[in-house]
């Protein structure tokens, strides 16, 4: 099995005489799928996006010493010896409320009534919780000895001014959004969503909801691809249905506004599989035919700066090729990690999984406890096999399969089995 890219030639009705190994195709994706330029978005739209540049705090958080408890602000050293048998008396000077600080100085034997989150008044260094204090006639009796700094949130204890709080390339989680808001940021620089144009070819296809002829089937790949693209933070700009016509495919494929063009169908070796030759004419057909099952007819290349990935029309092949190549490209373009977006776990093979040396196999499996059973290794048009499956395993090209009892990685379609 050659690891060199095949020549750009017409394989229709001839078949592939040579196929690129999977790793070479992955390497081609990695070389060309570089993170796109950044854009500025409102914080409310930043969840899940990838930071375009590091974020440095312009302020301390909190920006002032604040109370961590409802109670009384005073000087902690003056509470030494206080308990329920020896309450100590302090004169109340006033109160500090959130957003309405006390404008004065705490001095000897004085205190300020304070609420959680309010600014600690000048001169005070500790908060006695309300349950250890009894107020009356302008005084408060304290029944708890507390150390200096107790129940006070110090300025900058969360974030220090001028410190880097989030690094470039980080995919923003809800708590990250909250952290950005806490330093006053309402707009943030993030990697742009890759723009994806989906082209679906096939004379036999009809969109769901439309009348179906006797020899037609409902088209399903575009619906599946839209979900996959959304999962990988791509943005579908348009879905185009075209017949198996060379000029129609040419017109649909030439879209300079797209970062990625995905062509579903028309990539194999049939007489009406025009997509590879059209790509070669418009730009570069770098790869066509990959040593894997399913998805062998996958192709990829570029038209200018636009990446074009030719996906097989059979639904399982389309899913497999998307995850191996197209999804990887979209994730990298959007600044995300290239890794498979599935939870991986180890499980024991319950029934032999058969493969062949020289190709990578994508095998759908069921998962019962810690054991996996193959559901299908062939049948690239049987999409229901992926809905019955709990996940899949990847059998490398140098392996003939796995016997019962072998522990291998399984990728789960759902985060929780």
Residue 141 lies in domain? 66-153
User: Does the residue 354 lie in any domain?
Assistant: yes
Q: Is residue 117 part of a domain?
A: yes
Give the residue from 129, 153, 177 where a domain finishes.
153
Is 138 in the same domain as 171? Answer: no
Q: Is residue 262 part of a domain?
A: yes
Residue 9 domain-assigned?
Answer: no
- Residues 262 and 295 occupy one common structural domain: yes
| Domain C-terminal end among 300, 333, 366 | 333
Kindly give the confidence (pLDDT) of every residue in the chain, 417 residues in length, as a single tens digit, with 9 standing for 90 and above.
333 444 455 655 455 567 899 999 999 999 999 999 999 999 999 999 999 999 999 999 999 999 999 999 999 999 999 999 999 999 999 999 999 999 999 999 999 999 999 999 999 999 999 999 999 999 999 999 999 999 999 999 999 999 999 999 999 999 999 999 999 999 999 999 999 999 999 888 888 888 888 887 888 999 999 999 999 999 999 999 998 889 999 999 987 889 999 999 877 666 667 899 999 999 999 999 999 999 999 999 999 999 999 999 889 899 999 999 999 999 999 999 999 999 999 999 999 999 999 999 999 999 999 999 998 655 666 777 777 889 999 999 999 999 999 999 999 998 653
CA distance 183 to 185: 6
Query: Is this model's pTM higher than 0.85 or not?
Result: no
The answer on 219 and 135 residing in a single domain is no
| Same structural domain, 281 and 313 | yes
pLDDT at 386: 79
CATH assignment of the domain containing 183: 3.90.105.10
Q: Is 201 exposed, middle or buried (0-12, 13-18, 19+ CB in 10 A)?
A: buried
Examine the domain organization and report whether 285 and 329 are in the same domain.
Answer: yes
Together in a domain, 182 and 89: no
Q: Are residues 174 and 278 in the same domain?
A: no
**pLDDT at position 417, please?**
39
**Pair type for strands 260-264 and 306-311:** parallel
Residues 51 and 98 in one domain: no
Q: What is the pLDDT of residue 149?
A: 95
- Position of tokens 């099995």? 1
Task: Return d(Cα 200, Cα 285) in angstroms, integer.
Answer: 19
Give residue 327's pLDDT: 97
- Alpha-carbon distance of 115 to 103, in angstroms, equals 15
> 216: domain CATH number?
3.40.980.10
Q: Is residue 338 part of a domain?
A: no
Residue 273 confidence (pLDDT): 77
Examine the fold and report which residue of 100, 126, 153 is the final residue of a domain before the chain moves on.
153
- What span, in angstroms and rounded, lies between the C-alpha atoms of 108 and 121? 14
How many domains does the chain contain in total? Answer: 4
- Whether 11 is covered by a domain: the verdict is no
Q: What is the CATH number of the domain that holds 101?
A: 2.170.190.11
- 326 and 239, same structural domain? yes
* Structure tokens belonging to residue 281: 């004419």
Q: Are residues 171 and 315 in the same domain?
A: no
- For position 382, what pLDDT does the model report? 72
Q: Tell me the sheet residues that pair with 183.
A: none
In a domain, 402, yes or no: yes
Angle, helices 275-282/246-253, rounded to nearest 10 degrees = 50
Same domain as 184, residue 196: no
- In this structure, the answer to whether residues 234 and 313 fall within a common structural domain is yes
Contact 196, 259 (CB under 8 A): yes
Q: What is the dihedral of CA 38, 43, 48, 53, to 10 degrees?
A: 40
184 burial type by CB count under 10 A (0-12 exposed, 13-18 middle, 19+ buried)? exposed
Q: Are 50 and 81 in contact (CB under 8 A)?
A: no
In a domain, 107, yes or no: yes
User: For residue 1, what pLDDT is reported?
Assistant: 39
């Amino acid at each position: 099995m050659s690891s060199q890219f095949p020549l750009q030639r017409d394989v229709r009705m001839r078949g592939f005489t040579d196929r690129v190994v999977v790793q070479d195709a992955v390497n081609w994706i990695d070389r060309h799928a570089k993170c796109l330029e950044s854009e500025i978005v409102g914080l409310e739209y930043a969840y899940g996006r990838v930071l375009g540049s590091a974020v440095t705090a312009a302020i301390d958080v909190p920006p002032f010493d604040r109370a961590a408890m409802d109670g009384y602000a005073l000087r902690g050293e003056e509470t030494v010896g206080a308990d329920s048998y020896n309450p100590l008396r302090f004169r109340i000077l006033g109160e500090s409320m959130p957003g309405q600080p006390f404008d004065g100085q705490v001095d000897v034997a004085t205190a300020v009534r304070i609420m959680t989150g309010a600014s600690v008044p000048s001169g005070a260094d500790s908060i006695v919780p309300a349950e250890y204090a009894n107020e009356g006639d302008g005084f408060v009796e304290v029944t708890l000895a507390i150390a200096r700094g107790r129940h006070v949130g110090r300025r900058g204890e969360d974030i220090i001014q001028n410190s880097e709080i989030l690094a470039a390339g980080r995919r923003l989680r809800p708590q990250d959004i909250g952290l950005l808001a806490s330093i006053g940021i309402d707009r943030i620089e993030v990697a742009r969503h890759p723009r994806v144009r989906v082209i679906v070819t096939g004379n036999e296809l009809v969109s769901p909801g439309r009348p179906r002829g006797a020899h037609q089937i409902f088209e399903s790949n575009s619906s599946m691809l839209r979900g996959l693209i959304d999962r990988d933070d791509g943005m579908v700009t348009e879905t185009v249905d075209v017949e198996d016509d060379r000029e129609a495919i040419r017109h649909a494929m030439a879209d300079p506004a797209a970062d990625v063009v995905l062509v579903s169908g028309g990539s194999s070796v049939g007489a009406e599989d025009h997509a590879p030759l059209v790509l070669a004419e418009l730009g570069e057909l770098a790869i066509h035919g990959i040593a894997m099952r399913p998805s062998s007819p996958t192709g990829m290349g570029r038209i200018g700066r636009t990446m074009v990935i030719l996906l097989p029309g059979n639904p399982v092949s389309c899913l497999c090729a998307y995850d191996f190549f197209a999804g990887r490209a979209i994730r990298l373009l959007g600044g995300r990690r290239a890794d498979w977006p599935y939870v991986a776990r180890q499980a024991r093979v319950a029934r032999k999984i058969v493969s062949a040396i020289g190709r990578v196999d994508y095998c759908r499996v069921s998962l019962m406890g810690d054991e996996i059973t193959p559901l299908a290794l062939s049948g690239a048009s049987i999409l229901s096999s992926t809905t019955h499956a709990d996940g899949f395993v990847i059998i490398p090209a140098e392996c003939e399969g796995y016997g019962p009892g072998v522990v291998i990685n399984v990728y789960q379609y759902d985060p929780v089995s």
